[in-house]
Structure 1
Amino acid sequence: MDKQKSSAGQIGYEYDTLMNLLHVSVSKHLLDDHFTLVWANDFYYELIGYNKEEYQAAYHNLCDTYYMNDELGIHDEELWNQIGEEVIRTLDAGRDGYTLVAQMRRRSGEYIWVRMSARFTDEYIDGYRVSYTAMMDVSDIMRMEQEQSVTYDNLPGFIAKYKVGKMLDFTLLDGNDRFFAFFGKESWKNMEYPLFRDNVLRNQAVFEAHREALLKGEQVHFTVHMSDQRGQDAWLQINGSCVGYQDGDPVYLVIYIDITNETELRQMQRQLEDQAEKLRSALKEAEEANRAKSDFLSRMSHDIRTPMNAILGMKDIAVSHMEDPDKVKDCLKKIGLSGQHLLGLINDVLDMSKIESGEMALRDDVVSLPEVLENIVTIMQPQFKERDQKFSIRLQCVIHELFVSDSLRLRQIFLNILSNACKFTPLGGSITMDVAEVGTEGGTAYFIFTITDTGIGMQPEFIEHLFTAFSREKDSRVDKTEGTGLGMAITKRIAELLEGTIEVESEPGKGSVFSVRLPLKIEESPKLDASFPNLKIIVADDDAVMCEYTVEMLQNIGIYADWVDSGEQAVAKVLEAQKKGEAYDAILLDWKMPGQDGLETTRRLREVSEGELPILIISAYDWNDIEQEAKMAGVSGFLQKPIFASTLIRGLRQYILGESTEGERSESEHISDFGGRHFLLVEDNALNREVAQELLGDMGAVIDTACDGLQGIKAFAASEEGFYDILLMDIQMPVMDGYTAARTIRTLNRTDAGTVPILAMTADAFAEDIRAAKDAGMDGHLAKPLDGVTLKREISKYLV
């Protein structure tokens, strides 16, 4: 028995010695979850770099622990899964063993290639089947095969081998002839070779996207855009496989395939697809825009027919009541109002058409801000009065008054906003316009115009489309939507043309606030005599902001000033000053104050004040409404809000110092009629001729007429020099248009040909039409339809 044991031991020793000499690892494992090591020969431990005691202490003979929890922190999960999957496939197939070539890590971190040959036995330990595995290091053989593969020029594309560092730096290890023919033989220099460096940097984003896979040694497939050594660009498909490790870094065998033609075709296809998508999108937008305009015109047709029905209906009523002058007068008034409303609708559509086509141009006029705001007050006052709304304009830090801008467009911005504020503010509500000069720079003053109302406010979805052309959002809180729905879109476009902005804040039930920011080029204002000898004035206005600003202006021109916010306080203050012997030299009273208004305060002051105390009413409302009553109450004069420095100075000089300010106005402003004046009216439309003749004839002018431009030239040429005081010229006429006629008249050999005023009288009312008239030698421009007030005012400017 002892001899048998001795003989078996000798055989085992000889077997181990033989296996070690052959460099073959032999090990015995359990087919459990850990592939537990039962026994191994010395070369097994030599192969992985541990001795038996170290391996057992570190991993307790559990092979999965060696792969998954290495002392270096390296996890070879994929390698372990590769072995496990092969074992499962073998068992499922009913085979008793397998052979597998795979990588295995040594203790140093280096990876080697091993050929595993496993055999499953019928032996069981603790219920687990036993497997014997023989492993041989075949790294040299694999390296030879891989290096051999690099020389295969019959493979598609060209081939190279790189080491990939942890900083994603590439080191070329080998390449075939095709590789060096494409990239150049200096590719060995790696990043020191400009072409190599440029190609790497050019595709850095692609490499970064595959960083994790590259550093893990996983297979990669991606496309790069590189240049060859002749500077030709190419699209290359890269297929890379990790074939080993060097100094712990993965080594990749890379095959490049040139797919330039295919890629360029794909790019061209993508471009065509992108263009087609853009065309589809543009077509959709155009269809939506056309549909919106069609819907808009359909909805607006009712608004156009409404004033037209009123005009035609009132005409019929007037004809049937010719014997009743009051009835006819009422009908004519309503026809006029309906006509103005219809004109507003038409102007909105024409304005929007000009803006959309990019043809709207701005005029460069000398604009008086006081005149612009006074004009706005005059236009809006009847609407505010009708709805019993309180309206005020307040100034803040306004230093400059004259600017170079387009007064028509400025008024249009503010009138559009104020009209909406009036329309959507309930009866008895209030609307305020604050005008603030917030700074100057390089000859430009920057203004913020803020219009605040106590109206119904707007829903968020309404605000979203407020400035969109041809989009009229219906608000269920109002009975109907009036107008074109273009007003705010036009307002925004005009503000942008003036290099400004418009913003709105609004909440349902809390009113709205519109803020318009505009840069205005400063025009030097004529200096006014602002010397006042020791005056003392009191201001009474329930608007504290207005009071403070007026007092500040008075103090700036050397006048001592106080302010109170009610009529009662004004009377008390005047009495107190009289008792102290420090009587006021004048009082400025707001017309509409709660409790005791301006007129009642005037009566009380006349009862208690000593001497003829000048009392001036300041108001944004029409002076004519209270003129008679105010004079009877003892009011000395009237100042129009908003009160600018120039307005205040002129008012004080006229009403307090008793000086005349007439000399500051042009002579034309005082022409009350055109008696004895001779006008030549050139107009091809008979009805328009009749309207102009009647209006001007009522003002005392003698009117001669011509039906086209050529007739107009002949009539002027046949007249005595200086006979005609002014020529009124239509533009669109048969035979000869107005522009040509004006140019011809300016060239006639007579002394008045170059001086006689020629005014364009046309329905072409845009800035470019005004400019064209001036280019033709005309002096001014009158926009149709004509009204008596405007006609008289504009013609008067050109008569001496």
Structure 2
Amino acid sequence: MHTEEEYLAAVKEIAELKGELSRARRNYEAVTDYMSRISHDIRTPMNSIIGLAKLGEEESSGRAVKEYFGKIRESAEYQLEILGDVLDMARIESGQFTLYPEAYSLETLAETLTSMTAPLAEQKGITFSAEFHDIFADTLVLDKLRLRQILMNLLSNAVKFTPEKGKVMLTVSQMAAGNGRVRTVFTVKDNGIGMSEEFTKNMFKPFTQERTAATAEIQGSGLGLSIVKNLVDLMGGDIRVKSQIGVGTEFIVEIDCEPASGGKANDKNADMSYVFSGKRALVVDDHSINRILEVKLLKRVGFETDSAANGYECLKKFIASEIGYYDVILMDVKMPVMDGLEAAGKIRALERTDSAKVKMIAMSANSYPEDMEKSKEAGMDIHIAKPVIPSVLYSELAGLLR
């Protein structure tokens, strides 16, 4: 039997543990909220810069002006890339990074990676190819967002550090891993400038970059490979590298995961013809330039549009409209007066036959899985990250309004 002193000591220890857990939870929520606000506050104006620069490129007639707009867009996209790397690294180091596994087709992965990498390679006069060998489980259960992030980081680096007329290759193969799991091996190989043996020993450390005459003009945050290594570790995988200066570099990523039942994941057909004549959209965004850009993108493909500056205005316009008037609402998440999530919840709760049927798209500078889950819980159909990529927006709209 325990003495009264031992019992009281145990009670005290449990109370202290509960206090520590409560403080840790509050700290986690505070850090998450801070990072979310920082991300939103920086991404929102950058979205406007990228969108306007893109329009300037497309609509200007002079070659020099087109080039100026192109440089503005590229610089803004680079700043967003750095921001994403810094935020990801902060989340990883604070232990707040969570994986969200789901069924994902390797065929779809290859199409996505090729569509993103091929134009980059073509701009530099580099040959890019993707090959599959011995694939017996096309659809796997894994975090598709993070897997794409790992491979796109390696592929973009390969293109970045490979000179004109060089080659970059992605190879995917599989083997049995035991216990019904599948080991998928992703190899990214180039014949670029290569890395020194000394650098490869430290390349996964944050902010590590090899500075040579060949890399002097190549930009980077020095966080990409560190994030890749951490993501591979979180997925229970392994990453190795072979490199030689002047010969090239080969990264090998191995990940074991469960095969998905039920065949391929349902992904949108990227080759659809986007025509939305007769459809009506309500664009809701507190940033006037973003509203203008989004309205213009929608009108290009046939939408009739209205706009609102916050969730409260959106709610009023929806209530005042005829039943079924709006086909889709594009809703910014963070807005004054009433934010997008609250407005979505109130629309879904209305006693109207169209309140549950109208499609709602969350538009947010924050695109972490927990942000997407909050949007879903509020009644949004999908969540699209800003800056808005027209092809992604049109594809998602086609899927919703098909």
State yes or no: 1:730 paired with 2:323. no
Determine the structure 2 residue equivalent to 1:786: 388
Q: Deviations over 1:638-687 (max 9, x none)?
A: xxxxxxxx9xxxxxxxxxxxxxxxxx997996452221111111111111
Determine the structure 2 residue equivalent to 1:345: 82
Q: Distance in 1 between matches of 2:102 and 2:253?
A: 20
Note the C-alpha offset of 1:421.
1.4
Determine the structure 2 residue equivalent to 1:290: none
Partner of 2:108: helix, strand, or coil? helix
Determine the structure 2 residue equivalent to 1:684: 286
Q: 1:773 aligns with which of 366, 375, 396?
A: 375
Q: 1:745 aligns with which of 333, 347, 351?
A: 347
Partner of 1:514: helix, strand, or coil? strand
Q: Distance in 1 between matches of 2:392 and 2:267?
A: 18
Aligned-partner residue type, residue 720 of structure 1: E
TM normalised by structure 1 equals 0.41
Q: Distance in 2 between matches of 1:379 and 1:665?
A: 16
Q: Deviations over 1:246-292 (max 9, x none)?
A: xxxxxxxxxxxxxxxxxxxxxxxxxxxxxxxxxxxxxxxxxxxxxxx
Q: Deviations over 1:310-356 (max 9, x none)?
A: x89x97xx89xx99544444433343333332322222222222222
Q: Distance in 1 between matches of 2:334 and 2:81?
A: 22
Q: 2:115 aligns with which of 363, 378, 382?
A: 378
Determine the structure 1 residue equivalent to 2:24: none
Determine the structure 1 residue equivalent to 2:231: 494
Aligned-partner residue type, residue 77 of structure 2: Q
8 Å CA contact 1:677–1:700 kept in 2: the answer is yes
Q: Distance in 1 between matches of 2:190 and 2:272?
A: 38
Q: 2:249 aligns with which of 512, 516, 526?
A: 512
Note the C-alpha offset of 1:452.
1.7
Q: Deviations over 1:484-519 (max 9, x none)?
A: 111111111111222212111222233221110112
Q: Which runs of 5+ in 1 are unaligned?
A: 1-307, 528-645, 647-663
Query: RMSD between aligned alpha carbons?
Result: 2.9
Aligned-partner residue type, residue 759 of structure 1: I
Determine the structure 2 residue equivalent to 1:700: 302
Q: Distance in 2 between matches of 1:331 and 1:451?
A: 33
Q: Distance in 2 between matches of 1:668 and 1:510?
A: 36
8 Å CA contact 2:285–2:291 kept in 1: the answer is yes
Determine the structure 1 residue equivalent to 2:158: 421
Q: Which structure 2 residues correspond to residues 534-613 of structure 1 after superposition, within 5 A?
A: none
8 Å CA contact 1:360–1:767 kept in 2: the answer is no
- Shift of the 717–771 alpha-carbon distance from structure 1 to 2, 3 Å rule, reads same
State yes or no: 1:754 paired with 2:338. no
The structure richer in strand per residue is 1
Q: Distance in 2 between matches of 1:702 and 1:429?
A: 47
- Shift of the 448–323 alpha-carbon distance from structure 1 to 2, 3 Å rule, reads closer
Note the C-alpha offset of 1:799.
0.6
8 Å CA contact 2:108–2:267 kept in 1: the answer is no
Q: Distance in 2 between matches of 1:669 and 1:718?
A: 37
Q: 1:713 aligns with which of 315, 319, 330?
A: 315
Q: Distance in 2 between matches of 1:665 and 1:783?
A: 17
Note the C-alpha offset of 1:461.
2.0
Q: Distance in 1 between matches of 2:292 and 2:179?
A: 51
8 Å CA contact 1:452–1:511 kept in 2: the answer is yes
8 Å CA contact 2:140–2:258 kept in 1: the answer is yes
8 Å CA contact 2:182–2:256 kept in 1: the answer is yes
Q: Distance in 2 between matches of 1:758 and 1:520?
A: 33
Q: Distance in 2 between matches of 1:766 and 1:722?
A: 32
State yes or no: 1:405 paired with 2:7. no
Q: 1:458 aligns with which of 168, 179, 195?
A: 195
Q: Distance in 1 between matches of 2:99 and 2:137?
A: 21
Q: Distance in 1 between matches of 2:271 and 2:120?
A: 27
Determine the structure 1 residue equivalent to 2:22: none
Q: Distance in 1 between matches of 2:300 and 2:68?
A: 21
Q: 1:366 aligns with which of 103, 117, 121?
A: 103
Which of 1 and 2 has higher RCO (CA within 8 Å, sep 6+)? Answer: 2
Q: Which structure 2 residues correspond to residues 581-660 of structure 1 after superposition, within 5 A?
A: none
Determine the structure 2 residue equivalent to 1:565: none
8 Å CA contact 1:451–1:515 kept in 2: the answer is yes
- Shift of the 376–666 alpha-carbon distance from structure 1 to 2, 3 Å rule, reads closer
8 Å CA contact 1:669–1:797 kept in 2: the answer is no
How many residues are aligned here? 352
Partner of 1:414: helix, strand, or coil? helix
Partner of 2:401: helix, strand, or coil? coil
Note the C-alpha offset of 1:475.
3.1
8 Å CA contact 1:360–1:768 kept in 2: the answer is no
Q: Deviations over 1:50-81 (max 9, x none)?
A: xxxxxxxxxxxxxxxxxxxxxxxxxxxxxxxx
Q: Distance in 2 between matches of 1:323 and 1:433?
A: 37
- Shift of the 792–481 alpha-carbon distance from structure 1 to 2, 3 Å rule, reads same
Determine the structure 1 residue equivalent to 2:215: 478
Q: Distance in 2 between matches of 1:779 and 1:428?
A: 44
Q: Distance in 2 between matches of 1:348 and 1:718?
A: 44
Determine the structure 1 residue equivalent to 2:43: none
Aligned-partner residue type, residue 784 of structure 1: K
Larger Rg: 1
Q: Distance in 2 between matches of 1:718 and 1:395?
A: 55
- Shift of the 441–726 alpha-carbon distance from structure 1 to 2, 3 Å rule, reads farther
8 Å CA contact 2:139–2:263 kept in 1: the answer is no
State yes or no: 1:468 paired with 2:70. no
Q: Distance in 2 between matches of 1:484 and 1:466?
A: 12
Q: Deviations over 1:605-631 (max 9, x none)?
A: xxxxxxxxxxxxxxxxxxxxxxxxxxx
8 Å CA contact 1:684–1:708 kept in 2: the answer is yes
Q: Which structure 2 residues correspond to residues 89-128 of structure 1 after superposition, within 5 A?
A: none
Partner of 1:478: helix, strand, or coil? coil
Q: Distance in 2 between matches of 1:665 and 1:768?
A: 21
Q: Which runs of 5+ in 2 are unaligned?
A: 1-45
8 Å CA contact 1:746–1:754 kept in 2: the answer is yes
- Shift of the 497–323 alpha-carbon distance from structure 1 to 2, 3 Å rule, reads closer
Q: Deviations over 1:292-313 (max 9, x none)?
A: xxxxxxxxxxxxxxxx9xx89x
Aligned-partner residue type, residue 215 of structure 2: V
Aligned-partner residue type, residue 791 of structure 1: L
Q: Distance in 1 between matches of 2:355 and 2:335?
A: 21
8 Å CA contact 1:668–1:798 kept in 2: the answer is no
Note the C-alpha offset of 1:755.
2.5
8 Å CA contact 1:401–1:525 kept in 2: the answer is no
Partner of 2:346: helix, strand, or coil? helix
8 Å CA contact 2:329–2:360 kept in 1: the answer is yes
- Shift of the 368–329 alpha-carbon distance from structure 1 to 2, 3 Å rule, reads same
